[in-house]
A and B are shown apart, each in its own frame.
Chain A
Amino acid sequence: GAGVSQSPSNKVTEKGKDVELRCDPISGHTALYWYRQRLGQGLEFLIYFQGNSAPDKSGLPSDRFSAERTGESVSTLTIQRTQQEDSAVYLCASSQLAGAYNEQFFGPGTRLTVL
């Protein structure tokens, strides 16, 4: 596709369950970023990938959060044992390279609601 896609667009889950969120970046983009936006708050960085490796995981809020990327393409963000405070919109972005002067293209986000 032409842009970054994410699935599912909406996810409602019960507290304690695991969820997987998927991001398909723009083809050929080597850098991929995950962000979180809680209701009424600003965007927070979670993790970024350069190729299949993650040089910066500093934004992951706890060890319940993990992410992987395969084939320098699709990335999955996994949240284990979800808590209500994990409710947020999870946004993925990709850029051609990871450098500072590379524009990031954002996906539509996955809205996660933990009951």
Chain B
Amino acid sequence: KNEVEQSPQNLTAQEGEFITINCSYSVGISALHWLQQHPGGGIVSLFMLSSGKKKHGRLIATINIQEKHSSLHITASHPRDSAVYICAVRSGEYGNKLVFGAGTILRVKS
């Protein structure tokens, strides 16, 4: 079992749809990151959170520490949102490194 589980693995949406990507983890964490990886490989950090909710433009990230679960939401999705979305956690159990989920491949069709 992976330490960080993401679902779904693949997601195809129509432009304008509301999208949710989920991340579950198995240990107490100090921080959770959502990353975006575009075709061509570049990685951008979207959010870093340890509690509650953060919003940036059409992106919203939430975390429930008790349930060890986080969600990334995209409102009014657009084809340019097509990318791999990666959840990663930092925990004292893993030392000072990020442990990554396998990623969710999102394709938004126009």
What CA separation (Å) do A37 and B30 show in the bound complex? 24
Are A56 and B97 in contact, CB atoms less than 8 angstroms apart?
Answer: yes
Residues in B neighbouring A100, C-beta threshold 8 A:
30-31, 50, 90, 96
Consensus secondary structure, chain A interface: strand
Are A42 and B95 in contact, CB atoms less than 8 angstroms apart?
Answer: no
The proximity string for A residues 38-55 relative to B, scoring 1 for CB distances below 8 Å and 0 otherwise, is: 000111110010000001
Residues in B neighbouring A114, C-beta threshold 8 A:
none
What CA separation (Å) do A100 and B97 show in the bound complex? 9
| Distance between A99 CB and nearest chain B CB, rounded to angstroms | 8
Consensus secondary structure, chain B interface: strand
| Distance between A24 CB and nearest chain B CB, rounded to angstroms | 16
Residues in B neighbouring A108, C-beta threshold 8 A:
41-42
Q: Is B86 an interface residue (CB 8 A)?
A: yes
Residues in A neighbouring B30, C-beta threshold 8 A:
100-101
| Distance between B43 CB and nearest chain A CB, rounded to angstroms | 4
Q: What is A's interface to B at a CB cutoff of 8 Å?
A: 33, 35, 37, 41-45, 48, 55-56, 58-59, 89, 91, 93, 98, 100-101, 103-106, 108-109, 111
Complex A-B: 8 CB contacts under 8 Å? A33-B97, A42-B101, A45-B97, A48-B96, A55-B96, A101-B30, A108-B42, A109-B42
Q: What is B's interface to A at a CB cutoff of 8 Å?
A: 30-31, 33, 35, 41-45, 48, 50, 86, 88, 90, 95-103
